């Protein structure tokens, strides 16, 4: 399949202690394992099964994903920022591939 391309939206800067909203999207067909091809054979499941967001190495948000999540999985969640640092975003594919993205944030 086409390479999964993550897209993440994080504000460039925030006030200390502010709760910011993060939006993430990754291109992935999220084959549910329920569909059948033209010959009537079940198309095997192939999804992203886990998404994690970390800030300076500490876990912020994590999601266990089941096949009922739509293609190109989208997540919006919040994070409390008290210091400048880096957000790391990690997606884990059923086939073992890992897709990552990072975003820096300033605190003023």
The radius of gyration computed from the CA coordinates of the chain, to the nearest angstrom, equals 16
Q: Which residue has the tokens 């502010």?
A: 18
85 makes contact with another protein (CB under 8 A): no
Count the residues of the shown chain that bind another protein, applying the rule CB under 8 A. 27
Q: Angle CA(38)–CA(40)–CA(46) in degrees, nearest 5?
A: 85
Of the residues 4, 6, 31, 32, which one makes contact with another protein according to CB under 8 A: 32
- In degrees rounded to 5, what are phi and psi of residue 93? -90, 155
The minimum distance between CB 2 and another protein, in angstroms, equals 19
The minimum distance between CB 17 and another protein, in angstroms, equals 9
- Count of Cβ atoms closer than 10 Å to residue 36 Cβ: 9
57 makes contact with another protein (CB under 8 A): no
Report the interface residues with another protein, using CB under 8 A: 19-20, 32, 34, 55, 58-71, 73-80
């Amino acid at each position: 399949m086409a390479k999964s391309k993550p897209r993440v939206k994080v504000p460039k800067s925030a006030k200390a202690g502010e709760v910011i909203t993060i939006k993430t999207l990754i291109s992935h067909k999220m084959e549910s394992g329920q569909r059948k091809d033209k010959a009537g054979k079940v198309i095997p499941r192939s999804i992203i099964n886990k998404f994690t967001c970390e800030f300076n190495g500490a876990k912020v948000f994590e999601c266990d994903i089941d096949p009922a999540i739509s293609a190109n999985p989208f997540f919006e969640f919040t994070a409390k920022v008290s210091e400048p640092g880096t957000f790391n975003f990690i997606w884990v594919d059923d086939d073992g591939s890992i897709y990552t993205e990072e975003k820096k944030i300033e605190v003023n």
